[in-house]
Amino acid sequence: MDALAVTLELIRRFEGLYASPYLCPAGVPTIGYGATYYEDGTRVALTDSPITRERAEALLLWHVKSVYFPAVLRWCPAVIHETPGRIAALIDWTFNLGSGNLRASTLRKKVNLADWGSVPAELLKWNKAGGRVLRGLTARRSAEASLI
């Protein structure tokens, strides 16, 4: 099992592919597989042109390799020695919720203490958007937890 492949599979499964910009459940303009900004830092706008599947794949790969995997390594450096499933779960979580949330979370503290028995419960806490529990986020957190 390869952590990158597992991460991409999770993101594709839970984000879905949207060629045209849309508002995510948290009200943020999004495109492709959950991208809220492009490689140059420009935020997605609802007036942006649609993208192709190939462009969405390239944007997803860029985000994972250039932003979210490095963020996981920065805030949870020992994770590099963990299983591909654990790494993938943390990258997916960070892709969905942002590196700032990882940095400030109890999840990070548990990972850095190698308290893997507590990590699934920490993942499962993050299933809300706009103050509401979302079934899709609950399913996503459960999928991540199953990899721990």
Catalytic residues: 15, 24
Q: For residues 96 and 67, is the Cβ–Cβ distance under 8 A?
A: no
Report how far residue 50's alpha carbon sits from residue 77's, in angstroms, rounded to the nearest whole number. 37
Q: For residues 75 and 101, is the Cβ–Cβ distance under 8 A?
A: no
Report how far residue 15's alpha carbon sits from residue 38's, in angstroms, rounded to the nearest whole number. 16
Report how far residue 13's alpha carbon sits from residue 25's, in angstroms, rounded to the nearest whole number. 16
Report how far residue 33's alpha carbon sits from residue 79's, in angstroms, rounded to the nearest whole number. 25
Tokens linked to 76: 């949870």
